[in-house]
Amino acid sequence: MRQYYSSIVAVVVGLSNSAMASSLTLTSDDISNGVHMSKLQEFNGFGCTGSDLSPNLKWTGAPKETQSFAITAYDPDAPTGSGWWHWQIVNIPATVTELATGAGGAQSKQIPPGSLQIQNDYGVAAFGGACPPVGHGVHRYQFTVHALSVEQLSVTEQSSGALVGYMINAHTIESSTIEALYQRDK
């Protein structure tokens, strides 16, 4: 009986260790959970005057079966009825584990080869910073890295945010999110 229990413990410990080993974690030098972003991540346009820089993002602990990554930045609090896509970048090679501050710019040369930026809700295939309506309160900005089970998603730069979101979710093995905040009072 003792050998039986020892085997059970070994299996449970083995499962715990393997689950812990593949825990995708997203971090950033520029943004943090529950903390207001700086003007660096504010949009430049629509009455906003920020630097419009995508934040530094880095991730660790991707599952072994990861074939590529996708990153999304989404504001669920935008008064649109469907939120606001600030950034979707897909087909990031599985060997990439960090994007530098500003990598998501329209003219950026820092996007990994083979990656594709999707047209955001501002109408640009790039990162578009926070720009909530004045007096609308605090908005949440969900920056998520997705470990995907496919090397390439079948989407184009002009694919809708909803379609790209669907394709990402259909192939996500694991994801990790930083939910940063932003507010404009004037």
pLDDT tens-digit map of 155-166: 999 999 999 999
CA pair distance 124, 146, nearest whole angstrom: 22
CA pair distance 55, 127, nearest whole angstrom: 9
- Confidence at residue 186, expressed as pLDDT on a 0 to 100 scale: 78
Average pLDDT, the chain: 90
Spell out the CATH class of 23-182.
Answer: alpha beta
Whether 55 has a pLDDT exceeding 90, the answer reads yes
Report the percentage of the chain scoring pLDDT > 90.
Answer: 86
For residue 11, what pLDDT band results from cuts at 50, 70 and 90?
Answer: very low
Nearest to 94 by CA among 117, 64, 127: 64
Q: Are 150 and 112 in contact (CB under 8 A)?
A: no
Predicted model pTM: 0.88
Whether 24 has a pLDDT exceeding 60, the answer reads yes
Whether 38 has a pLDDT exceeding 60, the answer reads yes
**What b-and-e string marks burial along 101-116, b requiring 16 or more CB atoms within 10 Å of the CB?**
bbbbbeebeebbeebb
